[in-house]
Amino acid sequence: MQRRGVMIDRLHHDIQEEPQANTRTDTVFLDKLDDHIQEELKTNTRTDTVFIITAILLNLLSLGINAALTAGGDTSGGTIAVLVTFILLVIVINAIAIIGLAKGKQTRFKLLTGLELMYTDQGVAKYYDPSIRANYNVRYTLFIVAVVCTGAVAIIVPIILLIGM
């Protein structure tokens, strides 16, 4: 019986001390969560950069190859096959890049929302400008427009050169 009484006393003591322990644990947890969200944002940025650069470089490379093929005046089956192959490649890679950027935009929105909520809970939200999310939305839109425009030029210019022959 005495052992049970000691256990109840310890439990009562632990319950009284729990808020302080939780505060320390919560602070450590929030610090780790903040670090994790920051790392996810960095990863998101690197991934988006890869999508953008890959798509634009492929678009420009395809434009150069297809324009050179069609400017030579050769309309043989082999030239047309290469032209069509590069056009299909541009379409597929641009679609992948656009989907990747759209998912990156969604991920960034969720991560920033989590940060804002965490900052609000901690009473430091006034130091975080909520217009940052709107700025990211504009940036993502501009990135997608850049990919689409270079892709469209990579497709249209060689076709114009081919038809103009």
The answer to whether position 95 is within a domain reads yes
The answer to whether position 66 is within a domain reads yes
Phi and psi angles of residue 16, each rounded to the nearest 5 degrees, phi first = -65, -35
The answer to whether position 78 is within a domain reads yes
The answer to whether position 143 is within a domain reads yes
The domain containing residue 58 runs over which residues? 47-163
Ordered DSSP codes for 76-129: SHHHHHHHHHHHHHHHHHHHHHHHHHHHHHHHHHHHHHHHHHHHHHHT-GGGS-
Q: Which amino acid, residue 135?
A: N
The answer to whether position 124 is within a domain reads yes
The answer to whether position 9 is within a domain reads no
Residues with Cβ within 8 Å of residue 95, at least 6 apart in sequence:
none
Number of domains in the chain: 1
pTM of the model: 0.77
| Tens-level pLDDT at each residue, the chain (165 residues) | 444 444 445 444 444 444 444 567 778 888 888 899 999 999 999 999 999 999 999 999 999 999 998 887 777 888 899 999 999 999 999 999 999 999 999 999 999 999 899 889 888 888 888 888 889 999 999 999 999 999 999 999 999 988 885
